[in-house]
Amino acid sequence: MPDQQPTLTDGVVTLHAFGTEHIEAHVAGEDDEARLWFGRAEATTAAGMRETVERWESERRSGTRLSFAVVHDGVSRGVVEVRPRGDTAALSWMLYAGQRGQGYAARAVRLLVDWALTEQGQGGLGMHRVEAEVDPRNQASLRVATRAGLHREGIRRVTPGMADRDDSHGIVVLARLSTDPPLSDPQSFRSLLNSFLPRKRAIGQVLLRDPEGRVLLCRLTYKRDWDLPGGVVEVGESPRLAAVRELEEELGLSVAPGELLLTDWLPAWGGWDDAVCLVFDGGTHDPAVLDDVVLQAREIREARFLTLEEVDELAADFTARRIRAAVAGRNPYTESGS
Ligand SMILES: CC(C)(COP(=O)(O)OP(=O)(O)OC[C@H]1O[C@@H](n2cnc3c(N)ncnc32)[C@H](O)[C@@H]1OP(=O)(O)O)[C@@H](O)C(=O)NCCC(=O)NCCS
């Protein structure tokens, strides 16, 4: 921990150790917006803030909190802070009412992050990781975090009703590591934006038919209904490869899948997220292919060629609709089979 809290500047904003001279601007600048996102019910008073600044000073001495006033043109515009725990530090930031929307927050947090992740030998705080927790609805703060190079890592779940604010949406966890490449590197910036984009589950399935038009279905161990062979596409895997792999793993069948027959979107259901299911043509086979099939006992109870009427009876209604749509081949895209 540095003996003196340094003053940091990028030429536009300057971060000074937060002291009593910043209390007035802080009390005047804390508005409903700031209280909302920090989960504070009561407005901060000057007396309360004096106590806070005393506490911050003792935390600074013990190396657990470094608070900075964000100053531009000699005027105090907000506060940012870093709270080290071992080699990881938590960050938070706030701009005062009337000071927002001018880029000061993004600059101040970037400055703080760069300093916190710089080695101590080079005048930094020597952290390996800095992190922030932001309400997913706080768009301005998410933007500030991105501008400072923090990657979105995920959502921390929160027990609803345990805090003063509504955090039933969970809290977004964002972080930057000392080893992350600089933001000026185009690939680094793309991977930062990539961390914010949604991901959707994909499922690859194979439609195998027999000469009588029956369809190969499996009865799974972990659900009541029958379904086409196939499964979830792994991270970075192609859906076609996933379908082949699952067929091989589940039934020991090696089939080179042909055309894509159907893309079916499955809405969220029974605790599962929504998914896109791709059904590939597995060709026509003599039912005798099943004679040598080795069922993957952990997942598959039974595999049979079924007529479409049997499918209606044994599969979930949305699976039966998907199979009928794939067999009919009239519509390449369905949602829940329709
Ligand atoms: C979060 C906060 C510091 C942002 O301050 P700011 O002055 O708007 O930030 P900047 O001017 O540096 O802008 C940062 C980015 O946020 C964007 N932004 C600002 N307000 C936004 C909003 N309401 N919705 C979406 N984006 C917004 C800006 O366009 C800018 O993006 P860009 O660089 O791509 O143009 C300020 O709104 C604040 O103090 N809020 C209350 C306290 C708070 O939420 N603290 C964080 C708790 S985790």
Q: Whose Cα sits closest to atom 35 in ligand 1?
A: 103
pLDDT of 307 > 90? The answer is: yes
* 77: helix, strand or coil: strand
Q: How many angstroms is it from 105 CA to the middle of ligand 1?
A: 7
Q: How many angstroms is it from 162 CA to the middle of ligand 1?
A: 26
Q: Which of 36, 67, 141 to mutate to test the pocket of ligand 1 (most atoms within 8 A of CB)?
A: 141
Classify domain 8-194 at the CATH class level.
Answer: alpha beta
Which residues, judged by CB distance below 6 Å to any ligand atom, belong to the binding site of ligand 1?
33-34, 37, 92-95, 100-106, 134, 138-141, 143-144, 147
Cβ-contact 217, 258 below 8 angstroms: no
Residue 160's pLDDT is what? 75
Per-residue pLDDT tens digits for 266-295:
999 988 999 999 999 999 999 998 887 776
Q: Alpha-carbon distance 16 to 26, whole Å?
A: 14
Classify domain 201-335 at the CATH class level.
Answer: alpha beta
Q: The tokens 């001495």 sit on which residue? A: 61
Taking residues 221-230, what's their average pLDDT? 86
Residue 69's pLDDT is what? 98
List b or e across 125-156, with b for residues whose CB sees 16 or more CB atoms inside 10 angstroms. Answer: bbbebbbbbbbeebeebbebbbbbbbbbeeee
Per-residue pLDDT tens digits for 142-164:
999 999 999 999 999 888 776 65
Residue 2's pLDDT is what? 57
Q: Which of 95, 150, 165 to mutate to test the pocket of ligand 1 (most atoms within 8 A of CB)?
A: 95
Q: How many angstroms is it from 108 CA to the middle of ligand 1?
A: 12
Cα Rg of the chain (Å, integer): 29
Beta strands in the chain (DSSP E): 8-9, 14-17, 66-72, 75-85, 88-95, 129-134, 151-156, 171-177, 201-209, 215-220, 226-227, 230-232, 260-266, 275-284, 300-306, 333-335
Cβ-contact 106, 128 below 8 angstroms: no
Taking residues 306-320, what's their average pLDDT? 96
Percentage of residues in the chain with pLDDT exceeding 90? 79
Q: Whose Cα sits closest to atom 14 in ligand 1?
A: 144
Domain boundaries, the chain: 8-194, 201-335
